[in-house]
Structure 1
Amino acid sequence: MEPLPEHTIQFSGLKDGQHRFAFELGDAFFAATGMEEYELGGQVQATVIMDKSDHLLVTTIHVEGHANMPCDHCNAPLRQPVKGDQRQIFQLSGEAAIDDEELVGLSADAHEVNLTHYLFECISLSLPIRHVHPEGQCDPEAEAALGRVQVDEQPDGTSAHEAQADPRWDALKTLKDREN
């Protein structure tokens, strides 16, 4: 995701201590991700608390709102709640090569940091892996179409796909059956 200028914080003029920043992340933010999953947009409020010291910027990002995405089951629009927190530490070390999950190195002459990627990461990590409507709330037309799809079953209860499995795995299946 390309850094968006509205998520840049210039820390060089800030005094040491805690500073609070608020961002409204709307449809334009989700469109900028370039990911099909987020093409329906959303509305998320992000609060960033930045604790600045001589050589460290410790940020705590809190996001809350919703993302609109297609349901994985029926493909109808789904309003997925978003709520999460993430901590990110930026070290002003002169070594921009420092990079791990929580610690990011910035060059010693850096005067600003862009949080677009970290805001997106916090939102993405707060979403469930599967995006589905609650039971009984999927699109009825899609439910009907899914109901018409049948899996061919063999007399032993396995699907036709399983019946065509690679014979090399048969020995492993017999071991599994012995354990049960």
Structure 2
Amino acid sequence: MDKLRNYEVSFSGLNNGKHEFKFEIEKAFFQLFDTEQEFTNSKIEAAVFLEKHTTFLEFVIKIKGTIDLVCDLTNDDFVHPIENEIKVLVKFGEEYDDSEEDVITIPAKDHAFNIAQLVYESVVLSVPMKKVSPTISDEDLKILNQFSPEIEEQQDEEKEPESDPRWDALRKLKDKN
């Protein structure tokens, strides 16, 4: 059985016009994908708005909720709010094609559209690259920034290079001549 089937929006029996669907996204949803990202505790609602036309479908997928993340600095867990919206145009054609950015082509014989991949990508794109707990104080950040590799490199560049006494002796000989 296809585990992603729960995330299909069936449009074949719908009248032309606007329709709304809601999906609860939790830990089990993320386990359906091969991912390095660990979403241990998530409470996300995906609101899917479909506007059905005769020859194409317009989807607006809004996600809103919270996920548990691990702080990159302190390794503590914290709850991070996420919110994102994506718009996709689904048109009918010969075969499935998602090579265009905001347009997906599905076979004309299909009667449903699976939104699981779009929801997953929307959530992943909402996760910040640098995960910093909101409980870290400005003082703690200043202390941590003092030891960042970038600042250490700058400090090394600012220091005058120590001279080698052997070269100094050779320079003196050269200057005398």
Provide TM-score, normalisation by structure 2.
Answer: 0.72
- Correspondence 1:108-127 to 2 at 5 A: 108-127=108-127
* 1:177 match: none
- Cα shift at 1:38: 2.5
User: Is the 1:30–1:41 Cα contact (8 Å) retained in structure 2?
Assistant: no
Q: Which sections of structure 1, spanning at least 5 residues, go unmatched? A: 164-180
User: Is the 1:91–1:105 Cα contact (8 Å) retained in structure 2?
Assistant: yes
Instruction: After superposing the two structures, state which structure 1 stretch, 78-87 or 34-43, moved more.
Output: 34-43
Q: Which sections of structure 2, spanning at least 5 residues, go unmatched? A: 162-177
Question: In structure 2, do the counterparts of structure 1 residues 97 and 25 end up closer, same or farther at CA, with 3 Å as the change threshold?
Answer: closer
Question: In structure 2, do the counterparts of structure 1 residues 75 and 16 end up closer, same or farther at CA, with 3 Å as the change threshold?
Answer: same
Question: In structure 2, do the counterparts of structure 1 residues 134 and 47 end up closer, same or farther at CA, with 3 Å as the change threshold?
Answer: same
- Cα shift at 1:126: 2.3
Identity %: 25
Task: Say whether 1:53 aligns with 2:53.
Answer: yes
Query: What is the aligned residue count?
Result: 150
- Cα shift at 1:32: 2.6
Deviations 1:11-66 (A, max 9, x none): 11111111100001012113333324234131101100001112211100011101
Amino acid at match of 1:85: E
* 2:83 match: 83
CA distance in structure 2 between the partners assigned to 1:150 and 1:127 by the alignment:
23
CA root-mean-square deviation:
2.9
CA distance in structure 1 between the partners assigned to 2:132 and 2:111 by the alignment:
43
CA distance in structure 1 between the partners assigned to 2:27 and 2:65 by the alignment:
12
CA distance in structure 1 between the partners assigned to 2:42 and 2:94 by the alignment:
37
Question: In structure 2, do the counterparts of structure 1 residues 34 and 74 end up closer, same or farther at CA, with 3 Å as the change threshold?
Answer: farther
* 1:93 match: 93
CA distance in structure 1 between the partners assigned to 2:148 and 2:17 by the alignment:
62
Deviations 1:136-175 (A, max 9, x none): 26xx9xx9xx89x898x69x9318xxx9xxxxxxxxxxxx
Task: Say whether 1:18 aligns with 2:18.
Answer: yes
CA distance in structure 2 between the partners assigned to 1:39 and 1:125 by the alignment:
13
* 1:158 match: 156
Deviations 1:97-143 (A, max 9, x none): 35311000011111111110001111122232211112526xx9xx9
* 1:172 match: none
* 1:178 match: none
Instruction: After superposing the two structures, state which structure 1 stretch, 96-105 or 61-70, moved more.
Output: 96-105
Question: In structure 2, do the counterparts of structure 1 residues 150 and 125 end up closer, same or farther at CA, with 3 Å as the change threshold?
Answer: closer
Provide TM-score, normalisation by structure 1.
Answer: 0.71
SS in 2 for 1:158: helix
User: Is the 1:91–1:106 Cα contact (8 Å) retained in structure 2?
Assistant: yes
